């Protein structure tokens, strides 16, 4: 009698049976499509409004929340972009080379008078 390897035949047989069992798995009849993602057309009150002003020598992006200007990003044609940020909320802007300069704790508007 010839020495015939049984292990590969058993693996193929088990693989074929598992594929048959998976193919016979019924799908439920109550499937519904997922709802579309929320639209980004101004529905969120906390989303910043960005106004882009293109000039010949620079691009100015103004960021507002609730109509109040809180940050300006200036991208010159030559050089790296920088930010003017109203840290205290008093309308005085300070220049920052990046937004990760120093520790600033998170601030939320709890109530407006």
**Which residue do the tokens 């309308």 mark?**
91
Entry pTM? 0.49
| CA triple 106-110-113, angle to 5 deg | 130
What is the per-residue pLDDT across 36-88, written as a single tens digit (0 to 9) for each? 655 555 555 667 788 999 998 999 999 888 888 888 888 888 888 888 888 77
Residues 78 and 57: their CA atoms lie apart, in Å, by 8
Stronger pLDDT, 110 or 46, i.e. the higher one? 110
What is the per-residue pLDDT across 2-45, written as a single tens digit (0 to 9) for each? 566 778 888 888 777 777 666 666 666 766 666 665 555 555 56
What six digits make up the tokens of 57?
């020598």
C-alpha distances (whole Å) from 50 to each of 11, 53, 80 are 61, 10, 20
Q: For the chain, which domains are there? A: 31-113 (2.20.130)
């Amino acid at each position: 009698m010839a020495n015939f390897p049984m292990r590969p035949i058993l693996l193929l047989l088990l693989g074929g049976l598992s594929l048959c069992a998976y193919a016979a798995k019924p799908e439920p009849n109550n499937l519904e499509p997922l709802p579309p993602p929320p639209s980004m057309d101004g529905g969120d009150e906390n989303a910043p409004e960005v106004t882009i002003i293109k000039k010949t020598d620079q691009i100015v992006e103004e960021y507002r929340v609730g109509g109040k200007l809180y940050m300006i990003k200036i991208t010159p044609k030559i050089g790296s972009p920088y930010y003017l940020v109203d840290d205290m909320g008093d309308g005085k802007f300070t220049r920052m080379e990046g937004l990760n300069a120093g520790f600033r704790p998170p601030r939320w508007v709890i109530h407006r008078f």
